[in-house]
Every structure is written in structure tokens, then in C-alpha cells.
Amino acid sequence: MTMAESRLFKPLRIGTVETKHRIVMPAASRMRATDDHIPTDLMLEYYTQRAAVPGTLIITEANLVSPEHSGYTNAPGIWNAEQIAAWRKITDAVHSKGSSMFLQVMALGRMADPSEAKKEGFTIVGASDIPWMAGAVVPKVMTVEDVTRTVQQFGQAAKNAVEAGFDGIELLAGNGMLVEQFLQDVSNQRDDQYGGSIENRSRFTHEILQAMVDAIGAQRVGVRFSPWSEYLGLGMDDPVPQYSDILRKANDLSLSHVHLITSRVKGSDDVVSAETLDFAYNLFHGPIILAGGFTGELARKLVDEEYLDKDIAVAFGRQFIANPDLVFRIREGLALNDYDRSSFYALKDPEGYIDYPFSEEYLAQRRLGNA
């Protein structure tokens, strides 16, 4: 079977979106927004490039949910009118290419940058007073009021995302961020209704997902987990019972998708590991997006040979950063551009951002009106 005949290039319904293939661009923070967390024309150009192959689902970089949960320099946010208007330009451009777009949203919790906290005047918070590593800031323990307000902010973010033209929203409940800090016992030692048991540790995530579903409907809400990651001070001895609980809840909510990160990556570094996510496939019955260390051939095997009974899409992080026409290149078996790690987070810098070239083959097809 050729690559073009693979199930990888068959349509897939993800919530309200119908993709034309199963290659997804996952969230990748690139720090090119303004100092006030407003998306820029540089970002418009970047995302428009990556929407080049029609029917692609793009998930934005993680957006800050509110000023009190800020903490990444030049990351975009989704709480005010200017941010919504700037994102609207980007979603319009992506839609005009025939592609679709979900907004990823997060709170950083104890991972917030202390210099940003000082500059913007917010307090670094967490589930418990446990720093992410020795010597890092000890976060202030969130009160139940803080938790309730934060849940509402995520509900509002979902409404704002729809107003900004997104097809849906994805909650970042992995990669070491606040929501995951509540899920895991290594960072959550609370003795109230938000800690102390599997059920209680799931509560914050579940309440946020419920608030987003109430705001915009389940078919526009997805969630991302990294159960096996030992990134940024996380990593439970046995994550399976905890993640099984929250995956069951995600399934009961009928979310648009669950997005899982394999044990092959730790953040954006490759690691050797053989932990599987099979437990998750059995618990969530909707579409699953998988990310972490994929090549075109691994992705093809996964959807054509390993999980024929599942609706799986495969996300390519670093390769999508370096290849605006990634989907075309994989389909045609073309070589990929190498990514340059040093420009991943280069604040506001066009270099290493919008200058990765399209393939000659893609450009030729586009000139003929075939791409």
C-alpha cells in the first residue's frame, strides 16, 4: 500500500471538524505574541503557512487563560477583546485555506516564570506548596475560592475561543502545567475535596471540562494528557488508576477528542521508554490524537496495522514546526526540513519561525492549482 492509500489520508471527524487526513499539528509554544499576550501578524503568517494542505487540524500553542494565571513571556492569551480579535484574523485565514483550528488553553501554576509574576503582579500558585524542583518558587496553595474562580475562567475561555472563530478548545492537562499538578499525587497533597484520593485529584480537571462543555458543547472540547511524562517534576509511580479515572470522565462527557502524549518524549526531548497507552484507548471511545516521536512510517503503521478499530490521528510537533507543508511531504514521501531547536522559543523572532521553506514539489503543485 502506498502512503497516499493509507488510512492516514482518509477523513476523520473530530468533534465538529471533518479533517481530510489524520495528521494533526499539535500545540507548540513559540513565544511570538506581544508583551501583552496578543497574537501578532507574524503568528498569522506562521499558522496560515501550516494550514496549507486543506483539511488539516491545527491546535494552537498553549494560551494563557487569565491574567492571574499568566507566566510565559510572549505567549498568547484568550481573556480580552484584543486577543479575541487578533485570533479571529488567524482562524479566518486558516479556515479560508480549508483547514480547521482548536485553541489550546492552560494555566501554568508553579511553572509560571517568576520574572513575569513580578512584572505583571500575580502570585505563583499550585495545588500544594511543592516547588517543581529544589530551589524553585514555592507556590501559594490555591484556596477553594481560587479553584472555583479558575474553573470559571476556563469556561469563559471556551466562550472566547468560539467568539474568536475556533472550531473548539483543548485543555492542556499534561506537560507539567497546573491542571496536571492537581491530577498527580507528587504535586497534590491537599486534604480537601481536590486532593487525597483519585476521585478528588480528578475533580479540578473534571470541573474545568464540565465548565467548558456547558459553555460551548462537548463536541467543541478536547483534552490533552501526558500520563507517562516525568517532565517538570511530575511522574506518578503508577499513573494508570489516576488517568483511567479522568479518561472515564472525559468519555462520559463525550468530548470531541482526547490527545495523548506517548512515553517516547519528555516535553520535546526523545527518551527511551516502552510504556503503552493501551489502557487509555480502551476507556475513551471517541477520536484519539497521539503525539510523540512519530515519523510518517510509524504513523502509517499505527493507523493501518495496529489500531484498525480506533479513530486515531497522529500529531507531529517538531516536524510541523520545521515543515509548513508537512502533510504533503509525508504523503509524497519527501525529505523533511530539519528543525532548529535554538529558535523554538526565540521571543518575537521571525527567524526559525516563518522562514522554513515549502518543498519545491509542493510549490509546483500549488502553481498548477493542485495543492
Span 126-145, contacts to ligand FMN by CB under 6 A: none
All cell numbers assigned to 323: 515543515
Residues 154 to 183 in contact with ligand FMN, rule: CB under 6 A: 172, 175
Taking CB under 6 A as the binding criterion, the range among 111-119, 179-187, 215-223, 288-296 that sits at the site for ligand FMN is: 288-296
Using CB under 6 A, pick the residue from 38, 46, 61, 155 that binds ligand FMN: 61
* Using rule CB under 6 A, residue 292 touches ligand FMN: yes
Taking CB under 6 A as the binding criterion, the range among 13-21, 37-45, 261-269, 350-358 that sits at the site for ligand FMN is 261-269
- Asked whether position 73 contacts ligand FMN by CB under 6 A, the answer is no
How many whole angstroms separate alpha carbon 101 and alpha carbon 56?
A: 8
Under rule CB under 6 A, residue 68 binds ligand FMN: no
Which window, 184-192, 247-255, 280-288, 316-324, contacts ligand FMN (CB under 6 A)?
316-324
Contacts 24+ apart (CB under 8 A), 239-243: 239/184, 240/279, 241/198, 242/183, 242/184, 242/185, 242/198, 242/201, 242/202, 243/183, 243/279, 243/280
261 sits near ligand FMN (criterion: CB under 6 A): yes
- 62 binds ligand FMN, rule: CB under 6 A: yes
| Residues 6+ away with beta carbon under 8 Å from 34 | 40, 74, 348
Q: Specify the 3-state DSSP secondary structure of 352.
A: coil
Q: Which of 28, 127, 161, 211 binds ligand FMN (CB under 6 A)?
A: 28
Using CB under 6 A as the binding rule, whether residue 26 contacts ligand FMN is answered as yes
Output the nine-digit C-alpha cell for 259. 490527545
Residues that contact ligand FMN, how many (by CB under 6 A): 22
Cα separations in angstroms, 310 against 10, 291, 306: 13, 15, 9
Q: Does 222 bind ligand FMN (CB under 6 A)?
A: no
The gap from C-alpha 192 to its chain's centroid, in whole angstroms, comes to 29
Q: Based on the shown chain and the rule CB under 6 A, indicate whether residue 265 belongs to the binding site for ligand FMN.
A: yes
Shortest Cβ 177–ligand FMN spacing (Å): 8
Rounded to the nearest 10 degrees, how much is the dihedral formed by the CA atoms of 118, 119, 123, 125? -100
Q: Please state, in angstroms and rounded to a whole number, the distance separating the CA atoms of residues 95 and 89.
A: 10
DSSP state of 77: B
Residues contributing to the site for ligand FMN (CB under 6 A): 26-29, 61-62, 104, 172, 175, 224, 261, 265, 268, 291-294, 316-319, 344
